[in-house]
Structures are given as structure tokens and as C-alpha cells.
A and B are shown apart, each in its own frame.
Chain A
Amino acid sequence: MTGFRPALKYVRVGVSCCGDDWIQTESSRYDLERLGCVPAIRPEEANLLVIQGFMNGMLREEAERFYREMPEPRFVMALGTCACGGGLFPAEGSGAEIPVDVYVTGCPPRPEAIMNGVISLREVRK
């Protein structure tokens, strides 16, 4: 044991294309939980906001609300090409006025890429 590190509790906002691979990353083969990354029910309990897919107006408002409600320290991951740079929807982009800590690209990103993003977040948290 090298010391206790509080879990990354995430909430996800966005559409389901990349969310599909996030679900697969939760599964037993990749086991996201072993990296200390577990789901939270409400944004008040979370310290990681995962933005998946592009943000339209309605979702952007919701993402910003989630971010405001999350306690400090809080982190943001942009998941998938659409969230990172617009992808197929260049007019939209990630859009939300939220500082992103980690970008995970790919359409959809592979589970390995998602796990790499979570590991990178551990560096950001130091």
C-alpha cells in the first residue's frame, strides 16, 4: 500500500456513442473500478465529470450545472472526438465553458484509451 487516495467518482453527461465504450470499460475485462473510478449518482457526490459526445444547447446547460454542483477538487474528461473537437458536428464542439483536464480522443475511443485517460487524471490530481 502506497497510501490512500480518494476514489474518482464520475458522472457522465452526453450522448451514448462513446458511452457505449465507457460501459465496456466498466466491464470485467477492463474493470475501471480497479483504478479507483466508480460511478456517482448525483453531481454533488462526484469529482469527475465525463463529457461524452458533442454538446447541444440543452446538454451544455446541464453539463455546466453539473460542474457547478460538483465539490472541489473536480476534474473533467472530454470523451470522444466530438467532445474533444467537434468531430462530425464542427459547429457544436465540446462547447461548454468548462475547463477540461483530460482529452480522450477516438470515434469511439477504445477502452484502453479511456483507462489511459483515467490514469492521466491521477497525475493531474497530484
Chain B
Amino acid sequence: MIQETLEMGPIHPWLPGPMKVRLGMIGDRIASIETGFGFAAREIEKRVCGRTLEMAPFHSGRIEPESAFLLDRLFGEAAERILGVQVPARAAWIRDICFELSEFGAQLKFLARMASRMGLGVLYHSILKQRESLLDLVELLTGSRYGYNYIRAGGARYDLTDGFQERLDAWMRGFLADHDQIYELFCWTHPFQNRLKSMGLVVDSGDFGYVSEAAAENTRFGRVSHVESRLLHALGSCKEICTELRMLLDSPVKGAFFERVPDAPAAGRARAEIDTIRGSWSFDLELDQKQRVGALAVTTPSDRIRNAILPALEGESIEDLPLILESLSLSIPEIDR
């Protein structure tokens, strides 16, 4: 058997983003793997220092553009705890809608990329078309396709746009009508039925921290079709998110969407945390007397997901590398700088 070392990256079509990978190969099987990343989060932590409460989320949202709503919300919640601001009920409701939209977009992107990796071109375009309509809705709400700087300390930047709820409702109905077709197009294909079985690692840690909890506990890794179950989980999640959005739209909350942050000096530290499908995000925020950011420490899910790369890939065939890396939902923007 031939042993060799294979270098990939920082740019390669098989990698989910810029990263360095050194693979030790025995024949076509992966025997060892070393990875190298940067950390966008560390860079941005330093750049937000000294910024105001209005400007800092503009930077922190760039850690992971897909999750900009979520990151804005984390920043806002941490600041509100320090300043003692109570968010109005309508603002909380708007934030919940944004959170679901953010998660929906991420799931659709994941499905599209998996379809691309599996060679399912029609499905890739079909899902991206759905995502494009979702981005239109996000733009209608925030003025930007990735929702930058919409959620602020004290509430939201503006109220829901006229007609947003009706358009979201119509879009969800359209998506649910297509969902079964997407499901079948995924599951009744040769790559799904024959290739994804027994690929990667198994994770059975419930809804939250789907990948990263397993990454923290290597002993729980098994070799029972992680990639397949991750894909099915993403497909199922889209339906669940639709249900949650429907519940939110059915119970609208009236009132103010923003509570003014007091001007009085209020320095302090606070932590905000959110569980997502990929794992936990947390912001440790410190404000100075002028209500500017003194320090920010970010914990990203990908920090932990990185631990899963080796057990997921060890012993696998080199041709499965792109599918397994994609299934881990490594979010490269948050770690590649």
C-alpha cells in the first residue's frame, strides 16, 4: 500500500472555504489530517473596541454574514443586560421572526451546497431559487440581503415593513408545497441511497448543538451515516421553522418596537448566549462609561466543530472528503481570517 501526504488549500474546489488541509493517505484512504484556519472572530473582536452601540453590530455581524441577525441579537441582548433595558414585547417578537429567517436561510444554503457536492444540479438551482426569495424578504425587512445592523440594543431598527407578514406567509406556503419534492429529489437519488450510508460520524444529541456537542465528546462518535442524518435533519428543520414562523405570524404583538437606551453612564460586563443547530454562540461584552465597547469575546460553534474533522474523516475515502467537510457545517467566514 502506498503512503503519501496530500496538501490542499487555502483555495480548493473541494474545501468549503479557505483553509489549509494536510492529509496523510494510505492508498485512497485518509489516515491522518491536519487543518489550519484563521479566526475572523478574533480580528473583529479587536475592531469593535471603542465603537458605539450603533456601530459595533455593523462589525460583529460580519463574523458570519449568514447569521447576522443572530449576532446582532446577541450583541443587543448583552448590551441590554448591562444597561438594564427591557425590550418591548413587539421587539422580542420581531427578533424571533428574524432568528427563524436567519436559520431558514442557513439551512437552505446548507442543502444547496450538499446538493452541489452530491452532483444534483437541478436540486442545487431549485433550492437556491427558494433562498433567493427568502433573501428578498430579508431585504424587504432590513434593506439589506443579510440583515446587517437591524437588531439594536433596545429593540429593532425599524418596525416590520408593510406587507411583510403577507409576503412571508405566501412564501412559506410556496416552500411547503415544494418541500416534499425537494425531499424526494434528495432521497431518491443514487448518491443518497448508496453513497451516504455509513459516511462520517453519528450525532444524536437532539436539536441543539447537532454537530458541535458531538465534537466536544469524541467518545460518542460512531460511523453510522452522519452525513445522511445531517441532511435529513436539515430537510426536517425547514418544515419545523415554517411551523414556528406560522405560530409567530398568527400571534402578532402590538406596541413599540424600540426602547430608547438611557444616556446615563453604565459600565459593566454581560454575557449573552444562543443555541443554534450548529452549536452555541456567545458574546461576552464589556462596555465603558461612555457606552462604547471596551472588550468583546466571541465563542463560535466552528471552534468546536473543528474537533470533529479528524474522527469524521479518518479511514474514509478521499472522494468523500468534500461531502463530509460540507456536512460538518463549518462556517468558513467565521474562522478563515
Which A residues have a C-beta under 8 Å from some C-beta of B?
Answer: 12-17, 20-21, 23-24, 26-29, 41, 56, 58-59, 62, 66, 88-89, 107-108, 110
Contact = CB atoms under 8 A, between A and B. Distances in A.
B288 to A, nearest CB: 22
Interface string B60-83: 001001100000000000000000
Contacts of A27: 125, 128-129, 131-132
The 9 A-B residue pairs with the shortest CB-CB distance in the complex, in nearest-first order: A27-B128, A28-B125, A17-B65, A16-B333, A29-B132, A16-B17, A28-B129, A62-B11, A16-B332
10 contacts: A13-B11, A14-B18, A15-B40, A15-B332, A20-B66, A23-B112, A26-B128, A28-B126, A59-B10, A110-B145
A17 B144 CA distance: 13
A108 B145 contact: yes
B65 A20 contact: yes
Given A15-B18, A58-B38, 19 more contacts: A14-B18, A15-B17, A15-B40, A16-B336, A17-B65, A20-B66, A23-B128, A27-B131, A27-B132, A29-B129, A41-B13, A62-B10, A88-B44, A88-B62, A89-B47, A107-B148, A108-B65, A108-B145, A108-B146
B38 A56 contact: yes
A20 B109 contact: yes
Contact of A24 (B128, B148, B333): B128
B337 interface: yes
Nearest to B68: A17
A88 B47 contact: yes
B321 interface: no
Interface string B1-31: 0000000001101000110100000000000
A23 B110 CA distance: 12
B128 A28 contact: yes
A17 B135 contact: no
Q: Which of A27, A29, A41, A88 has the most CB atoms of chain B within a 10 A radius of its CB?
A: A27
Contacts of A89: 43, 47
Contacts of A20: 65-66, 109, 146
A66 B11 contact: yes
Contacts of A12: 11
Contacts of B125: 27-28
A58 B18 CA distance: 10
A14 B325 CA distance: 18
Contacts of B59: 88
A21 B66 CA distance: 11
Interface in B315-337: 332-333, 336-337
Given A24-B131, A27-B129, A17 B11 contact: no
A15 B336 contact: yes
Contacts of B333: 15-17
Q: Which of A12, A13, A56, A58 has the most CB atoms of chain B within a 10 A radius of its CB?
A: A58
